[in-house]
Amino acid sequence: MRATVQRVREASVTVDARVVSRIGPGLLIYVGCARADEDADARYLAEKAAGLRIFPDEQGRMNRSVAEAGGEVLVVSAFTLQADARKGRRPSFDAAAAAEQARPLCETFVQAMRAAGLTVREGSFQTHMLVHSVNDGPICILLDSTRLF
């Protein structure tokens, strides 16, 4: 399982001209599930994302987690995080989990974030979404449950 974690001032998801989720300052997290992923991968990534110290402290150093900063979280499923673009120009998505497998894994991720005490909003699974965000920094962190990076 992979995630792109972005520190944002605000973020929202729109589907069919209707805003379905919106947060203020916090984290926008794109999550992509792989065929080999299990619940343990989702829980690991959620714990890692929730604990990332990427918010400023009183001295302006990145030393606080999203919870310590009082931020919210918006989780958006994005199978494209599993893209393999090493050959040619058209990415392969063969490693991406099918929707039937990915949906419960994304739900496990969201529930683990909520269990960490965070306010979590969600995108719309398996739907074309317009995602608006105002990145803060910009701070973008890549996470992988197999610890490739």
Task: Write out pLDDT tens, residues 81-101.
Answer: 999 999 999 999 999 999 999
pLDDT band at residue 112 under the 50/70/90 scheme: very high
Model pTM above 0.95? yes
What residue segments make up the domains of the chain, in order of their start? 2-144
The angle at the Cα of 135, spanning 23 to 11, to the nearest 5 degrees, equals 20
**Six-digit token string for 126:** 């398996």
CA distance 25 to 69: 9
The predicted pLDDT at position 130 comes to 98
pLDDT in tens, 17-74: 999 999 999 999 999 999 999 999 999 999 999 999 999 999 999 999 999 999 999 9
Domain 2-144 has CATH 3.50.80.10: yes
For the chain, helix (H) and strand (E) counts, in that order, are 2, 8
